[in-house]
A and B are shown apart, each in its own frame.
Chain A
Amino acid sequence: SAVISQKPSRDICQRGTSLTIQCQVDSQVTMMFWYRQQPGQSLTLIATANQGSEATYESGFVIDKFPISRPNLTFSTLTVSNMSPEDSSIYLCSVQLSWDAGPGELFFGEGSRLTVL
């Protein structure tokens, strides 16, 4: 398994500002993903964080709004830019430990609960 630490665990932000969420894993991992869970909703994949290159975004998500970095195999950040109340969600970091792990063997952080006023 893996220990995934996300910071901040929660925050309250003002409209128009930006917030960066950090995800730190206690071991090197092959793949890292960022998900969004809007209030009372399921999880939606935002992007795959690629080490050393630009993230791969899902339909409906763009780099200008959700820039992602992954400088190494244990760390990634997600920034929520120019926030609006619609961005109020839980943002979850997820990792796959190795290519030997089967598809879907993902581990999740506890999430960062973001409220935008």
Chain B
Amino acid sequence: AQSVTQPDIHITVSEGASLELRCNYSYGATPYLFWYVQSPGQGLQLLLKYFSGDTLVQGIKGFEAEFKRSQSSFNLRKPSVHWSDAAEYFCAVDRRRALTFGSGTRLQVQP
């Protein structure tokens, strides 16, 4: 069955520093992969998605992610983090139009 693993439960970065959140997937074929963000008291918002083609995908809020089949990974990156990026980030894989989510990574941003 499709699944995703987020190895980092909690990450703290300084404002202005770069960010990389890890996501590994388990799936036989090419998966449909997503990153969602959940800000405090908010619903989930789609940051970006990968279906096929270019392995580097751009999303909203300056985020990007790279699909690496050889590593079964879909890591999320941002070159310069802003304090407003503090949130919970979820990697997800499509499963018959619903989604299976990873356990999430909580991002804390220090001033």
Contact = CB atoms under 8 A, between A and B. Distances in A.
Interface in A1-17: 4
A53 B16 CA distance: 51
Which secondary structure dominates chain B's binding surface?
Answer: strand
A45 B95 CA distance: 10
A111 B38 CA distance: 11
Interface residues of B, number: 22
B97 A31 contact: yes
A96 B32 CA distance: 15
Interface of A: 4, 31, 33, 41-45, 48, 92, 94, 96, 102-111
13 contacts: A41-B103, A43-B90, A43-B99, A45-B98, A45-B99, A45-B100, A103-B94, A103-B97, A104-B34, A104-B92, A105-B46, A108-B44, A110-B41
Given A48-B98, A103-B32, A4 B43 contact: yes
Interface string B34-49: 1000000111111001
Nearest to B106: A40
Contact of A105 (B41, B42, B49, B103): B49
Instruction: Rank and list the top 5 A-B pairs by shortest CB-CB distance, nearest first.
Output: A103-B94, A108-B43, A108-B44, A110-B43, A104-B94
B103 to A, nearest CB: 5
Interface in B27-65: 32, 34, 41-46, 49, 51
Contacts of B44: 43, 92, 94, 108
A108 B45 CA distance: 7
B98 A110 contact: no
A1 to B, nearest CB: 10
A33 B51 CA distance: 21
Contacts of A42: 90, 101-104
B111 to A, nearest CB: 25
Contacts of B102: 42
A25 B98 CA distance: 17
